[in-house]
Amino acid sequence: MAPGAVSGKSKVTIVGSGNWGSVAAKLIASNTFKLHSFHDQVRMWVFEETLPSGEKLSDVINRTNENVKYLPGIKLGKNVIADPDLENAVKDAKMLVFVTPHQFMDGICKKLVGKVNTDVEAISLIKGMKIALEKLSEATVGYRENKDIAETWVQLFTTPYFIVTAVQDVEGIELCGTLKNVVAIAAGLVDGLEMGNNTKAAIMRIGLKEMKALSKLLFSSVKDSTFFESCGVADLITTCLGGRNRKVAEAFAKSGGKRSFDDLEAEMLQGQKLQGVLTAKEVYEVLSHRGWLELFPLFATVHEISIGHLPSSAIVKYSEHKPKSSLVCKL
Ligand SMILES: NC(=O)C1=CN([C@@H]2O[C@H](COP(=O)(O)OP(=O)(O)OC[C@H]3O[C@@H](n4cnc5c(N)ncnc54)[C@H](O)[C@@H]3O)[C@@H](O)[C@H]2O)C=CC1
Ligand SMILES: O=C(CO)COP(=O)(O)O
């Protein structure tokens, strides 16, 4: 029997403990407690930090059963164990749930080499829900070939208020979750410029079109139908209406570009991380490398605004840059 399957039960470890990581821990812990195929206890790796009280965050989570910094006011479940030691947190796991801001993943993966079970299964969480208050939400699990494994993950996450669907399109789902954060920055800029709902809806539509076009250019296997799943249009709507990327971009535009995204992130999010600005830079690099910049004016403009090369108002002027080919329209 594999070490992670003590008494035949799969042990789950969550790698990450921010806002969404803590929500995931709560969801999963409620299921592992009820379902016989999973070990009750869920380990959650915590990037350790010292709170203003002088206590360690992991100690406080274990004492109060609450992530007081990243998800205050919500009980995680007594079977969630916070562990600041990454190696120890993963060593017996049969199922790993990765949920840290993506800029930290390289370092984490390097530390995990040779430390996890050889038959471990892993999932990277997709985006777009505020569900800790148990309001109805959805998510999509992507899989390649093995639908049975996908269904195990669906079982682990599903609750009466959290509907999870398995979709055979890993790349499409990953790219939806990644690219929507860039569109959310654009939507926030429109809010900061006080341009109203029609303009915002137009930006969201164009953003969705660029999301689909870029995903399909990068991976021909990406399915159109994925954009109508929760990970596609639903996630895009929620992030553009109420997310952190939107909120900080709004403040950036309101400051007339005088405040940087880094400053605003630190001030407004108190340790939580923005993904949209870094993603816009990474997308820009890909577009630039492949000679596709003019095919994706919204994505390119978001990056140029975020680094101060263009004013926020450029977000509604970018359509004057005419794409060189009709490739985007064809897609
Ligand atoms: N909050 C949301 O609604 C959703 C977030 N996501 C994704 O989940 C991932 C994690 O997001 P959240 O849990 O919201 O995190 P968060 O933004 O709330 O918190 C940041 C996390 O990064 C950790 N951290 C800071 N410095 C670190 C370092 N050097 N190394 C490792 N960790 C470090 C902090 O301890 C904290 O746990 C992101 O990729 C995000 O895109 C996905 C779906 C929904
Ligand atoms: O998916 C998320 C982070 O990548 C959530 O971001 P928002 O809070 O901007 O919606």
Helices (H), the chain: 19-34, 57-64, 86-90, 105-112, 147-157, 170-192, 196-218, 235-242, 244-254, 261-269, 276-290, 297-306, 327-330
The answer on whether 244 is annotated among ligand-binding residues is: yes
The residues facing 43 across adjacent strands are 13, 81
The angle that helices 170-192 and 244-254 make with each other, rounded to 10 degrees, is 30
Q: Complex ipTM, two decimals?
A: 0.96
Atom of ligand 1 nearest to the CA of 130: 3
Q: What is the pLDDT of residue 321?
A: 52
The pLDDT score that the predictor gives to residue 136 is: 85
Q: Which of 318, 29, 5, 287 is nearest to 185 (CA)?
A: 318
Q: Give per-residue pLDDT as tens, 76-113.
A: 999 999 999 999 999 999 999 999 998 899 999 999 99
What's the pTM value of the predicted model, to 2 decimals?
Answer: 0.90
Q: What is the pLDDT of residue 323?
A: 45
> 19: closest CA among 72, 92, 97?
72
Residue 244 Cβ < 6 Å to ligand 1: no
Active site (annotated) includes residue 180: yes
Cβ–ligand 1 contact at 102 (below 6 Å): yes
Phi, psi of 76 (to 5 degrees): -85, -20
CA 183 – CA 298 distance, rounded (Å): 8
Instruction: Name which residue sits closest to atom 1 of ligand 2, judged by CA.
Output: 127
Q: With a 6 A CB cut-off, is 188 part of the ligand 2 pocket?
A: no
The whole-number pLDDT of residue 318 equals 63
- Give the model confidence (pLDDT) of 253-280 as tens digits: 999 989 999 999 999 999 999 999 999 9
CB–CB of 295/325 below 8 Å? Answer: yes
Find residue 38's DSSP bridge partners: 10
How many CB atoms neighbour CB 321 within 10 A? 14
pLDDT in tens, the chain (331 residues): 344 444 689 999 999 999 999 999 999 999 999 999 999 999 999 999 999 999 999 999 999 999 999 999 999 999 999 999 999 999 999 999 999 998 899 999 999 999 999 899 999 884 533 375 677 888 999 999 899 999 999 999 999 999 999 999 999 999 999 999 999 999 999 999 999 999 999 999 999 999 999 999 999 999 999 999 999 999 999 999 999 999 999 999 999 989 999 999 999 999 999 999 999 999 999 999 999 999 999 999 999 999 999 999 999 986 545 444 434 434 4
- Residue 139's DSSP bridge partners are 164
Burial (CB count within 10 angstroms: exposed 0-12, middle 13-18, buried 19+), residue 305: buried
